Amino acid sequence: MMKRILATLIALILLTGTAHAATKVVVSIVPQQYFVEQVGGDLVDVSVMVQPGASPASYEPKPRQMAELSRAQLYFSIGVPFERAWLQRMKSASPQSTFIAMDAGVDKRPMARHHHHEEVHVENGEHHGIPDPHIWTAPPIVRQMAASILKGLIEADPENEAAYRKNHGSFVHKINKLDGDLQSLFAQSNQKRFMVYHPSWGYFAQTYGLTQIPIELEGKEPGPKELGELIQHAKKENIRVVFVQPQFSDRSAELIAKAIQGQVIKADPLAYDWEQNLRDVAQAFQKALR
């Protein structure tokens, strides 16, 4: 009798251990965690390199994060600036991990410039300028990235392919619904231009027929002359809201908002709940465009 009980307990322990053997995944930024968890569900354990409040432009991974990465099966990169300095080092430190570029195959647009420099040089059909890394702000691109996540998870954990495919289907349905809702939201907007401190909403704007007017570019604050031009441009376009993200200083944004008798509103492209965040930001943009 005692042997039977012991055997049952051992079997339960083994079964529990198997059920919780999640695929260890590391990603660069918080929205990626949301994407991977949408496809992977309870079958993945996701860690994020760039912690909330930090900037993907200048982040340096902590030693404990590098140690955690050495135990990961998958790393999903997305093309944010810190990866240029760290990705090769991370690959060297984690030779057993499979590195997958979520941004593979994405046609990246140049970073938006100040309104008087908006024209981007085109040569031989190619855009010239610093590529904009903020691809996750456009639902159609996230749909493309979801396919990369699905492929990577299936290759790492083929036994759970059916579950990943089911989750992926649900996620794509959610993306399509969001995309349709946002298309409808902006369809009737007469004003199409909005002002942001950091040009992180270019793909979002391009998808929904809008134009972002950035204050900062490549980490540089505008000088007095540029600041004056931005204020005049905002007045001309009847812009009354300046959008900022928490990872950057809002000093210039506050100066412009005061000059145009407007307000500063937070819009964070790095929030975890990607779908709800895009809905909230879209509502704020739409209200500002009225």
User: Which residue would you say has higher pLDDT here, 9 or 71?
Assistant: 71
The separation between the first and the last C-alpha atoms of the chain, rounded to the nearest angstrom, is: 76
How much is the average pLDDT of 120-141?
Answer: 70
Helix (H, G, I), strand (E, B) or coil at 131: strand
Tokens of residue 267, six digits: 């819009």
Q: Looking at the structure, do residues 165 and 40 belong to the same domain, yes or no?
A: yes
Flag whether 119 is in a domain: no
pLDDT value for 124: 37
Flag whether 139 is in a domain: yes
Q: Looking at the structure, do residues 141 and 193 belong to the same domain, yes or no?
A: no
Number of independent structural domains in the chain:
2
Flag whether 281 is in a domain: yes
Among 6-15, 58-67, 187-196, 257-266, the minimum mean pLDDT is found in 6-15
Q: Looking at the structure, do residues 29 and 147 belong to the same domain, yes or no?
A: yes
Long-range pairs for 116-121 at CB < 8 Å and ≥24 separation?
A: 116/229, 116/233, 118/211
Q: Looking at the structure, do residues 29 and 168 belong to the same domain, yes or no?
A: yes
Flag whether 13 is in a domain: no
Q: Which of 113, 188, 163, 173 has the alpha carbon at shortest distance from 143?
A: 173
Flag whether 115 is in a domain: no
Q: How much is the pTM?
A: 0.85
Dump pLDDT digits (tens) for 58-83.
899 999 999 999 999 999 999 999 99
Q: Looking at the structure, do residues 169 and 236 belong to the same domain, yes or no?
A: no
Flag whether 109 is in a domain: no
Where does a domain end: 152, 180, 208? 180
How much is the average pLDDT of 117-145?
Answer: 71
pLDDT value for 19: 53
Q: Looking at the structure, do residues 248 and 174 belong to the same domain, yes or no?
A: no
Amino acid at 278: L
Which residue range(s) make up the domain with 87? 22-104+133-180
pLDDT value for 120: 36
d(CA 274, CA 156): 25
Q: CATH code at 224?
A: 3.40.50.1980
